[in-house]
Amino acid sequence: MLNAHNAFREALVRKLNQEPGLEVVWQAGSLEEAHGIHLDGIDLAIVDPVLLDGDDGMVLVREMSQANPNASVLVLTSNLDPTVRGRALEAGAVEVLSTRATGEELINAIRR
C-alpha cells in the first residue's frame, strides 16, 4: 500500500489485516520508500497517486503493472477528477476508488 497520509494508511492497514484472507505485506508513504519494495508474490497493491512530496504515484502504478503482470493495482484517491481516473486506468490500474468509499466497498473491490 502506498499512501502519503500516515494516519489514514495505518488505520486502513489495521482494518484490512482484520479481514479474513487479507494481509498487508508492505506499506510506504512515498514513492522513494515504495521503490525499495519487492513485488514478488504480491496479489494486489493499493496506491494513492497523489503524493505529498510532489512525486506522481502513477509512475508506481505503471511500474507495478509492468513488473508483476499477475498483480492488480487498485488506485484509492481523494482526487475525483475524471482525468486522474483515466490516467490510472491507462497506467494499468484495474480499478479506481474514492477515499469516500465505505470500508465494505473497499473490501469488495479488493476481493474482485
User: pLDDT digit string (tens) for 79-95?
Assistant: 878 888 898 899 889 99
Whole-structure pTM value:
0.83
Query: Is 20 part of any domain?
Result: yes
Query: Is 86 part of any domain?
Result: yes
Q: What percentage of residues in the chain have a pLDDT greater than 70?
A: 91
Contacts of 21 (CB under 8 A, 6+ apart): none
- Structural domain span for residue 27: 6-111
pLDDT at 44: 86
User: pLDDT digit string (tens) for 21-63?
Assistant: 999 988 888 877 877 676 677 888 888 877 655 556 777 788 8
Query: Is 36 part of any domain?
Result: yes
Residue type at 10?
Answer: E
Query: Is 55 part of any domain?
Result: yes
CA torsion 37-63-22-104 (nearest 10°) is: 130
Query: Is 1 part of any domain?
Result: no
Query: Is 48 part of any domain?
Result: yes
- How many domains is the chain built from? 1
Query: Is 73 part of any domain?
Result: yes
- Domain with 16 in it: what CATH number? 3.40.50.2300
pLDDT at 84: 84
Highest mean pLDDT among 16-20, 29-33, 45-49, 108-112: 16-20
- Residues 44 and 33: their CA atoms lie apart, in Å, by 18
User: pLDDT digit string (tens) for 60-75?
Assistant: 788 888 877 788 889 9
> For residues 30-49, b (16+ Cβ closer than 10 Å) or e, as one string?
bbeebeebeeeebebbbbbb
In 3-state terms, the chain is what percent helix, strand and coil (to 5)? Answer: 40, 15, 45
